[in-house]
Structure 1
């Protein structure tokens, strides 16, 4: 007699848990996102207020804006996860199930990579409005008081952007945002899989949270190096102003060329430390929260044995 396949949670629950897991992780890593964005914008335009390092940036934020200042833009970060991560993880899970064999055999690595990149790009498109609000809210504190946008929260930001600049501004920088998502997903999939296998083969690790964390941090190093130039282009485009009817940058390539010309080649990796420090823990925390919610759902709703 064929073994009965275990009950699975509904697709809506998978989407919901994916978003909640990402939001839970964001609460812990939001200060790193803030520092990363400030570092990437440091030196942009005519600004003379520079951050020498990530620690200098963090110290400056704490000194001038207080402890609450390091959580500036949290509402936008949470909405970004509610849109981007919900779409990305939900779509990835659903497509993976569709492409699995009749006996539940998962598809090969290349198919997983294609699904991951497609899900990432789609999630990035859905999450771009929240991303634009996040970039602007986290950037506000580095501007002189007279030039600050002063958004009260993410919903105030979205409404004012639509009213003052038009609805299409919500998708400003959508191309680089989607490109970053594709690069991040491709780099993460390949490097995480290889890193985990290397650690397990070393004989010093078992397939547990410690192994997952270490593999995530190694993967984060590769992913950060690969995706940061695209990320800095995205950040500056989404934060730019239109002066006398002329935008600061024409496109992502224009951002990269101006950064290299005026700030140096290695400025393309400005904010590397907080970006890297955020990427690994955020991934680990997201999946820890996701696993715990799935376990609770199986136990209390599906009444399945642990």
Structure 2
């Protein structure tokens, strides 16, 4: 009598665990994301520098709005992870599994970059409405009281954006959002695997574990931050812009990039670099550690498999 076939982790579980791991990481790094957003939109239009550095930005927010303001827009941030990270990690895991099943070997660097690009684009498009709500909610506190949108929660933000500006406004800035996500995922996934292999198999001979994951993800985060920040600036400015007398503040991604460089200097394209980097590295570490633990628990207790991870 042949043994019953082993249970396989379903595609739905892969998407679910991807979203849960991203949401868990976001609960930790949300204040840095808010600081990054505030610094990116400071000086928009006027060219005047609002914050000296990240610490000054944090002090200003706490002083004017209170410590809880650092978690302003947390509902939108969690919704973004529930859509964007669910889509990108779920899609990447699915594509990776399909590659291994078809070709009987692990994907190379170029294959990983291609799969990361596709996964990033899919996740970003799905997550853009939550991204728009997040940008608006985290930036609202810096506006004069009369100009604030005063969204009460993420559902209120999505509803009001749809009713006041039309449903297409939910995908405002979708092109730079998708472009940024493609660059981020292509760079992040490929460089992470290369750094991890170097630290593990190179002269340092690091053992598999949190220390290895931390070092590889922080270097991957540095490279990813450098390549993706100009697109992130464009995305943030477009999603936060207002339409006055039927005329939008920016015409598109290139218009934002050229105007920021001309009015605020070329290095303004990397404004908010420190909080962006400090957010991206730990978020990557926490996301993948949580994802690995969720997969290990599911494989061990639900499908009775010792497979370590779904990636």
Structures share fold, TM-score greater than 0.5: yes
Distance 1:279 1:119 in 2: 18
Report the counterpart of residue 261 of structure 2 in structure 1. 260
Closer/same/farther in 2, CA of residues 5 and 183 from structure 1, 3 Å limit: farther
Report the counterpart of residue 145 of structure 1 in structure 2. 145
Give the superposition deviation at 1:97. Answer: 1.6
SS in 1 for 2:230: helix
- Whether the 8 Å contact between 1:49 and 1:142 is mirrored in structure 2 is no
Closer/same/farther in 2, CA of residues 8 and 60 from structure 1, 3 Å limit: same
Report the counterpart of residue 135 of structure 1 in structure 2. 135
Within 5 A, what are the aligned runs for 1:1-306? 7-46=7-46, 50-101=50-101, 104-200=104-200, 201-203=202-204, 205-304=206-305
Distance 1:266 1:151 in 2: 32
Give the superposition deviation at 1:4. Answer: 9.4
Q: Deviations over 1:172-224 (max 9, x none)?
A: 00000000011111211232223223323122522221011011111111110
Distance 1:204 1:59 in 2: 41
- Whether the 8 Å contact between 1:33 and 1:274 is mirrored in structure 2 is yes
Q: TM-score, normalised by structure 2?
A: 0.93
- Whether the 8 Å contact between 2:40 and 2:233 is mirrored in structure 1 is yes
Q: Deviations over 1:53-108 (max 9, x none)?
A: 00000111111111110000100000000000111111111122222245852233
Distance 1:103 1:271 in 2: 42
Closer/same/farther in 2, CA of residues 63 and 305 from structure 1, 3 Å limit: same
Distance 1:49 1:134 in 2: 23
Distance 1:80 1:63 in 2: 28
- State the superposition RMSD in angstroms: 1.9
- Whether the 8 Å contact between 2:84 and 2:126 is mirrored in structure 1 is yes
- Whether the 8 Å contact between 2:76 and 2:154 is mirrored in structure 1 is yes
Closer/same/farther in 2, CA of residues 7 and 235 from structure 1, 3 Å limit: same
Q: May I ask how many residue pairs the two structures share in their alignment?
A: 305
Distance 1:156 1:242 in 2: 20
Closer/same/farther in 2, CA of residues 212 and 43 from structure 1, 3 Å limit: same
Moved more, 102-111 or 27-36: 102-111
Q: TM-score, normalised by structure 1?
A: 0.95
Closer/same/farther in 2, CA of residues 109 and 240 from structure 1, 3 Å limit: same
What residue ranges of structure 2 are gaps of 5+ in the alignment? none
What residue ranges of structure 1 are gaps of 5+ in the alignment? none
SS in 2 for 1:202: coil
Q: Deviations over 1:102-143 (max 9, x none)?
A: 585223322221111001001000000000000000000110
After TM superposition, the runs of 4+ consecutive aligned structure 1 residues lying more than 4 A away are: 3-6
